[in-house]
A and B are shown apart, each in its own frame.
Chain A
Amino acid sequence: MATMTYVNAIRDAQRQEMLRDPKVFVAGEDVALMGSSFGQTGGLYEEFGGERVLDTPISEGQIVSLGVGASAMGLRAVLSLDFCDFLGCCMDEVMNQAAKMTYMLGGQMCLPLTIRSNIGGEIGAAAQHSQCLEALFTHLPGLKVVSSSNPRDAKGLLSQAIRDNNPVIVLEHKALNPMTGDVPEGAFTVPFGKIELKKEGKDVSILSWANTLNKCVRAAADLEKDGIDAEVIDVRSLIPLDIDGILASVEKTGRVVIAHEAVETGGYGGEIAAMIADKGFDFLDAPIKRVGAPYTPVPFSGALEKHYQPNEERIIRAVKSLFY
Chain B
Amino acid sequence: MKLTKDAYLSLYETMLRIRFFEETARELMLGGKLGGFLHLYSGEEAIAAGVCSELTKEDCICSTHRGHGHIIAKGGDIHKMMAELYGKATGYSQGKSGSMHIADIGMGIIGANGIVGASIPITNGVAFALRYLKKDAVAVAFFGDGASNRGTFHEALNLASVWNLPTIFICENNHFGMSTPQGRAMKLKRISDRASAYGIAGVTVDGNDPVAVKEATHEAVKRAKSGKGQSLIECVTWRHHGHYIGDPAAYKDPAEQKLWLSEERDPIPRFEARLLKEKVANAEELDGLKNKVRDVISASVAFAESSPDPSPESMYDFVYMPDEA
Q: Which residues of A contact B (CB under 8 A)?
A: 25, 51, 54, 56-57, 59, 61-62, 65-75, 77, 92-93, 96-97, 101-111, 141-142, 144, 163-166
Contacts and interface: CB of A to CB of B under 8 A. Distances in A.
Given A66-B121, A92-B118, A166-B321, A51 B104 contact: no
Contacts of B319: 102-103, 141-142
Contacts of B155: 57, 59, 61-62, 65
Interface stretch (B5-13, B127-135, B203-211, B259-267): B127-135
Contacts of A59: 121, 155, 158-159
Q: What is the predominant secondary structure among interface residues of chain A facing chain B? A: mixed
Q: Which 4 A-B pairs have the closest CB atoms?
A: A69-B125, A106-B93, A65-B121, A73-B129
A62 B152 contact: yes
26 contacts: A59-B121, A59-B155, A59-B159, A62-B152, A62-B155, A65-B118, A65-B124, A65-B125, A65-B152, A66-B125, A66-B159, A69-B128, A69-B139, A70-B132, A72-B110, A73-B130, A75-B132, A96-B115, A102-B321, A103-B318, A104-B93, A105-B103, A106-B91, A108-B105, A110-B321, A141-B319
Interface stretch (B42-50, B94-102, B222-230, B299-307): B94-102
A74 B60 CA distance: 14
A51 B152 CA distance: 23
B111 interface: yes
Contacts of B122: 65, 68-69, 72, 97
B105 A144 contact: no
B97 A104 contact: yes
Contacts of A65: 118, 121-122, 124-125, 152, 155-156
B96 A62 contact: no
A107 B321 contact: yes
Q: Size class of B's contact patch?
A: 35 or more
Interface string B292-325: 0000000000000000000000000111111110
A62 B320 CA distance: 23
A51 to B, nearest CB: 6
Contacts of A107: 317-318, 321
Nearest to A160: B323
Nearest to A163: B323
Contact of B104 (A108, A111, A144): A108
Contacts of A66: 121, 124-125, 128, 159
Given A59-B159, A65-B118, A73-B129, A102 B152 contact: no
Given A57-B159, A59-B121, A105-B101, 11 more contacts: A59-B155, A62-B158, A65-B124, A66-B128, A71-B125, A77-B125, A96-B114, A97-B122, A104-B93, A104-B96, A110-B321
